[in-house]
Amino acid sequence: MFLPKYPDSPTSPPAHTHTPTGTAPVRRSLPSVSIDQKTVVALVVGGVVLTALLAAVAVTAISVAVAAVVLRSMLRDHHRR
């Protein structure tokens, strides 16, 4: 089997060597947040209020859609006469 012959050339050391810097930066911890009973109650009440508002908007949208279908049906019957 024939192997290609490479020229003998010594490899030179890399031009840039990596030197590690000092210590790694220290990660700051997040400030501690104290959660008391008033905070939990406020969050629960806020969630209930927002859920009730979302339900009211959904019911209103469905009511408007039903009213539009009924009105369109009534107008179509009116124009046929």
Q: Which residue has the higher pLDDT, 15 or 34?
A: 34
54 pLDDT above the threshold of 90: yes
Tell me what the pLDDT averaged over the chain comes to.
Answer: 83
Q: What is the DSSP string of 29-64?
A: PPPP----HHHHHHHHHHHHHHHHHHHHHHHHHHHH
The b/e string for 18-41 (b: 16+ C-beta within 10 A; e otherwise) is eeeeeeeeeeeeeeeeeeeeeeee
What proportion of the chain, given as a percentage, has pLDDT over 70? 72
Q: Is the pLDDT of residue 20 over 70?
A: no
For residue 31, pLDDT over 90 is answered with no
